[in-house]
Chains A and B, each alone.
Chain A
Amino acid sequence: MQEYQLYIDGQFSAAASGKTAESINPATEAPWARVARAGREDTQRAIKAARKAFDEGPWPRMSQADRAKILNQIADGLQARAQEIAVVETQDSGGTIRKTNGDLMLANAQLRYFAEMAEQLPLLTEIQVPQFPAQSKNFIQREPFGVCGQIIPWNFPLMMAVWKLGPALATGNTIVLKPASDTPCSAFELAAVIAQSDLPKGVVNIIHGSGAECGEELCTNPMIDKVAFTGSTAVGRRIMQLASDTVKKVTLELGGKSANIILDDADLDMAVDGSLFGCFFHQGQACESGTRLLVSEAMHDKVVERLVERTKLINCGDPLDMASAQGPLISARQRETVEGYIKLGLEEGAKVAVGGKRPAHLSKGYYVEPTIFTGVKNSMKVAQEEIFGPVLVVIRYKNIDDAIRIANDSIYGLGGAVWSRDADKAMAVAKQVRTGTMWINEYHMLSVAAPFGGYKQSGIGREFGLDGILEYMQIKHIHVDQVGNRPAKFWYGALFGA
């Protein structure tokens, strides 16, 4: 069995308690790796190392070019081991090898973007201000935020680690990263790559443990300056509360129930396949998935017929097999949750058009067939709650205004799409949906150079792009006096004037 240890202060080590946990391969339901399981004490040790690296170490003080060089070194190391790490990721997460290979390629490109930003981001910028009441030159100095606690989910383990580490490192922060309990292994592979680079010790620390112990410590420890979290809305709220005692900066990327709108003039072949990709990619375990498909009354039957026909062609199977398009869900408990929602949908009167069961040809693994519900009202649980599984609900709309109203009738606002041959019409719809990302004739295509994040209860702050990088920087205003002469000062008369 593969073994992994905690990565703290540049060293791999066992947990203080000696505890370990077995990581389960969701395709075989068997343990495949043993990972050191951190508690509060290990988390505190990691936080201290990150604090010391920030307060006393070279990393925040290093030239931008040197930081960029080290980030590129890490990207090189990741690239050299990409295929091997993709296999680790597939065994740990159940993501198909096609998906994890893609994740490794993307993670690499993302790290290189962050390296470029590390080098090119202007840290000192002059700004123009009115010269009343004081003649002055004014500058914005951007500085690293400090020690960041980062908590990531199990759906895109390696890529989420890069999304969090990349911008934090590019801007000179130090980090304690907690991967999800179900999928720690690729983060420790990344730790091995980092250990081979010139990154100073203590800058990146990676621990495996529960939210209740390690997560709570990251959110409450006074030595942490910022918490970045990707996960559920309920935990996001809890994190904000925990972080409020020490007034930490918090960025959250939370749930979604994104609307995918097919307009009547869409290229139907593309819209149908794109909508299936939008919902079923990685078994629906992506926050921005297009899980509510909105179709007009007129097009409904035609679209559903094609959706069903195309869904039957999606191949569920061993995620290590290049021929598999769908792997298992992450865990037995996630499958139980998803199956619970399918049951609820049926009880609420929705109809399963395709799927709804475990695939008959697979005797092992936490698989659920890609499932489509029709006859769904937007008020139903299956339309309001994020299922986080391969379940698409089809909702009818009367006209475009009705489609926009339904799209916005959600506590979430993370992703979404509109399919149309009319660019202006699609743009008009995209502008009216209250959500962080809208794709036109596309889905899931996030760019490292474009901001990603949520409206409403889908989150706070952005990742990626300049906006995402600035979330990791403090802003300092520096005012340089240009009056130069005491009696001419604006305040002089007020204090000492005649």
Chain B
Amino acid sequence: MEGRGEPASTAGMNVVFTAAALDVVRKVQAARDGLPFVFVFGEGCCEGTAPHLFANHHVGPTQQEVGRADALPVFADAHIRQLYAGRTVVIDVEEDPLADGFSAEIELGYRFVMRAGASA
């Protein structure tokens, strides 16, 4: 199969949120009340591996849930799951008036960032 490299590990990928990041998740939900949100990960290029918070987003068959922010699911595709297998990924937030992505927190002047944690 293309683009999967050699299997690195069968261990899962673990996602945790900082308190500040969870607070911003709640702010976004309050600002756009009622919309279903999910997190998905970037894979490099101009936006790095930023976690994206999208409303009304269809999650494809290669995506699996790897964590939750409150009740809100975090999905990673097979490629990302394999790259971060056996690791804890910390989702944090920064204030950033110039952030450019499509992620929903950007409208409120924030940007979620991914900090790769230690191996599990």
Give 5 closest A-B pairs by Cβ, nearest first: A379-B5, A386-B44, A411-B3, A232-B45, A337-B48
Q: Give the distance to chain A from B111, nearest Cβ to Cβ, in Å.
A: 8
Is the Cβ of B43 less than 8 Å from the Cβ of A385? yes
In the complex, per-residue mask of B99-119: 1 if CB is within 8 Å of any chain A CB, else 0 = 111111111000101011000
A-B contact pairs, 11 of them (CB 8 A): A182-B98, A212-B105, A213-B106, A234-B47, A235-B42, A242-B102, A377-B6, A384-B3, A384-B5, A408-B2, A412-B3
Nearest chain-A residue to B3 (Cβ)? A411
**Does B29 sit within 8 A of A, measured CB to CB?**
no
Known: A234-B41, A378-B5. A210 touches B47 (CB 8 A): no
Per the bound structure, the CA–CA distance linking A233 and B102 in Å amounts to: 12
Whether the pair A212, B102 counts as a contact (CB closer than 8 A) is yes
Given A181-B100, A232-B46, A255-B45, 14 more pairs with CB closer than 8 A: A180-B46, A180-B100, A211-B101, A231-B46, A232-B47, A234-B41, A238-B102, A241-B58, A257-B44, A287-B45, A379-B5, A383-B5, A387-B44, A408-B2
Contact A409 B2 (CB under 8 A): yes
Other-chain contact of A234, B8, B40, B98, B116 (Cβ < 8 Å): B40
Bits for A216-244, please: 1 = Cβ < 8 Å to B, else 0.
Answer: 10000000000000011111001101100
Q: Does B64 contact A (CB under 8 A)?
A: no
A381 contacts B by Cβ under 8 Å? yes
Most B Cβ at <10 Å: residue of A285, A337, A380: A337
Question: Contact check: which of A21, A233, A340, A411 meets B98 at CB < 8 Å?
Answer: A21
Contacts A231-B47, A234-B52, A379-B8: A239 and B102 contacting too (C-beta < 8 A)? yes
One digit per residue, 1 when the CB lies within 8 angstroms of any chain B CB and 0 when it does not, for chain A 248-264 equals 00000011110000000
Flag whether B23 is at the interface (Cβ < 8 A): no
A154 adjacent to chain B (CB < 8 Å): yes
* Chain B contacts for A285, CB-based, 8 A: 46
User: Measured between alpha carbons, how far is A414 from B100 in the docked complex, in Å?
Assistant: 23
- Residue numbers in B under 8 Å from A5 (CB-CB): none
1/0 per residue B14-42: CB within 8 Å of A?
A: 00000000000000000000000000111
A-B contact count (CB 8 A): 133
Q: What's the Cα separation between A98 and B82 when bound, in Å?
A: 40
Q: Are A386 and B107 in contact (CB under 8 A)?
A: no
Partner of B79, one of A153, A256, A340, A384: A384
Count of chain A residues with a beta carbon within 8 Å of a chain B beta carbon = 55
Residue of B nearest to A380 (CB): B5
* Chain A residues, CB < 8 A from B41: 234
Q: In the bound complex, how far is the Cα of B46 from the Cα of A153, in angstroms?
A: 7
- The listed residue (B5, B50, B57, B116) touching A409 by CB distance below 8 A is B5
Which residue, A287, A379, A387, has most C-beta atoms of chain B within 10 A?
A: A379
Chain B residues within 8 Å of A, Cβ to Cβ = 2-8, 40-50, 52, 54, 57-58, 79, 83, 94, 96-107, 111, 113, 115-116
Contact indicator A411/B2 (Cβ below 8 Å): yes
Q: Give min CB distance, B71 to chain A, whole Å.
A: 22
**Which residues of the partner chain B approach A383 to less than 8 Å between Cβ atoms?**
5
Complex: chain A residue closest to B102, CB-CB: A211
Closest CB of chain B to A497's CB: distance in Å?
50
Q: Is A333 an interface residue (CB 8 A)?
A: yes
CA distance A63 to B101 in the complex (A): 39
A456 within 8 A of B: yes
How many whole Å from B28's CB to the nearest CB in chain A? 10
A366 within 8 A of B: no
- Residue A334 CB within 8 A of the other chain: yes
**Residue on A with the closest CB to B109?**
A210
A129 beta carbon closer than 8 Å to chain B: no
Q: Shortest beta-carbon distance, B47 to chain A, in Å?
A: 5
Q: Which residues on the A side are within 8 Å of B113 (C-beta)?
A: 333, 336
